[in-house]
Structures are given as C-alpha cells and as structure tokens.
Structure 1
Amino acid sequence: MKKQIGTIVGIILIIIVAIFSLMNLNSVEVNFGFARVQSPLILLILISLLLGSLIIFTFSSTQTVKKNRQMKRFEKLSDAKQSELSNQIQDLKKSLKMMETRLKNSTGKQTIGEKDQQITELERQIEKLNQNL
C-alpha cells in the first residue's frame, strides 16, 4: 500500500514538474561563480531535479546498506546465542541422564543395603534360636 501511494505521488510530482518546465521555456543566464552559462530554463529545472534525485537515492542507498549490515550482524549474534543455548540444553540433558542413572544406582544400593541388614538380622535371630536350643 505504501509503495502504491509513493508511486502515485511520484507520478503527480513528475507531471507538475513537466508542466512547470514547459511554462518556462525562456533562456536564462546562470552564474556559477567561476563561469556564466546561458541555457533554457527547462534544462536547468530538469538538471536540478535529476541531481536532487541522485542525491536522495545515494543517501537512501547508504542507509539501506547500513541497515542490511546491521541486520546481518544481529543474525550472526542470534545464531551464536542459539548455538550457545542449544549446547547448554544438551549439557543439561546429559546432566539429567547422569543424575537419573545415579538415582537408580543409589536406589539399587539402598535396596541392597536394606537386604544386607535383613540378612544380618535373620542371622542374629538364627544364632539366638540356636543358643536357645
């Protein structure tokens, strides 16, 4: 929508400049400070318009190039951060697996320890029963 409005405004301005230029066909003298030139006013108007357009194009192009460079820099930073976060996630997953393994081993050892205690208790009870016999 913005481009369409810009195009319409541009066409209207070109038509206005063309009409204005055609109304001023007189020959004028231009003093550049070091030289004087006599040329038709229509030519001066069109040359001025062309130079203004080139200046605006140059400034807008440099701004666009700067924005593109900045965008690329931000994309690189974003990719680096994503990579770093992915590595951290992988490290955390590995740590979680290790902790789960330790927990399973710990639970197994606790169970073995409880069984050893039960066996020891049963051996004591057996000894007591043997003594009572």
Structure 2
Amino acid sequence: MKNQWRIIIGLVLTLMIVIFAVLNNMNVPVNFGFSQFSAPLIIVIIGSAFLGAVVVALVATGTMWQQRREIKQLNQQINSLTKDIDKKVADKKEELEREYNNKLAEFKAAQTVYPTEEKIKEIDSEG
C-alpha cells in the first residue's frame, strides 16, 4: 500500500512537470559557464528533471548497497554469536549433567545400607 502511494505521487509530479514544460515552450539561453546555447524551455525542463532523477537514483542505489552490505555483515555477526551461544549452552549442559551424575552417585553411596553387627550375627546363625 505504501509503495502504491509513492507510485501515484510520482506519476502526479511527473504529469505536473510535463504540463509545466508544455506551457513553457519558448527558446531560452542556457549558460554552463564555459559555453552557452539556446534551446526550447520544454527540453531544458525535461532534461533537468531527468538529470535530477538520475542523481536521486544514484544516491538511493548507493545507500541501498551500503545498507545491504551492513545487513549482510550483521547477519554474519548474528550467526557467529548464535553458534557461540549454542556451544556455551552445550558445554554448560554437559558440566551440569556431570555435576548431577556425581551428586547422584554420592547420594546413592550414602544411602547404601551396610549390615550392622547384629544383622551379621543373625545371618550367621541362620546359615
């Protein structure tokens, strides 16, 4: 929708320039500082508008290329940082699993019931 409005506004401005140029069709002198010539005003207006459009397109294209390059660099940085975070998470997970397994083993060892002397005598008397 936003681009449609841009196109419509661009067409309206172009139409205004064309109408203005057609209404002003007399010969005018054009001075470049080092040379001078005479041309119909319509050609001067349309030529100036065309040159302005070319300048705007070049500036916009340069800005777009710069932004694309920056976006590419930032995406590479994001991917690098994501890989780094994933590696750190995996390392921390392994560390926590080892710590958990060690504590579990300690807990199981502490919970093992060793036979008391009474239990040993009882087992001996039965056998």
Same structural fold, with TM-score higher than 0.5 when normalized by the shorter chain: yes
Identity, in percent, stands at 23
Tell me the amino acid that sits aligned with residue 65 of structure 2: V
After superposing on structure 2, the runs of 4+ consecutive aligned residues of structure 1 that deviate more than 6 Å are none
Which gives a bigger RCO, structure 1 or 2 (Cα 8 Å, sep 6+)?
2
Please list the CA deviations of residues 102-128 of structure 1 after superposition, one character each: whole Å capped at 9, or x if unmatched. 11221232234x51xx44xx17x96xx
Please list the CA deviations of residues 59-116 of structure 1 after superposition, one character each: whole Å capped at 9, or x if unmatched. 111111111111111111111111111011111111122112211221232234x51x
Match of 2:90 in 1: 90
Match of 1:28 in 2: 28
Residues in 1 aligned to 2:19 and 2:35: alpha-carbon distance in whole angstroms: 29
Tell me the amino acid that sits aligned with residue 39 of structure 2: S
Please list the CA deviations of residues 15-57 of structure 1 after superposition, one character each: whole Å capped at 9, or x if unmatched. 1111111111111111111111111111111110011001111
Residues in 2 aligned to 1:59 and 1:98: alpha-carbon distance in whole angstroms: 58
Please tell me the root mean square deviation across aligned C-alpha atoms, in Å.
1.7
The question of 1:46 aligning with 2:46 is answered yes
Aligned pairs, number:
120
Which residues of 2 match residues 1-133 of structure 1 at below 5 A? 1-112=1-112, 115=114, 118-119=115-116, 122=117
Unaligned runs of 5+ in 2: 122-127
TM-score for the superposition, normalised by structure 2:
0.86
Residues in 1 aligned to 2:9 and 2:61: alpha-carbon distance in whole angstroms: 20
Unaligned runs of 5+ in 1: 127-133
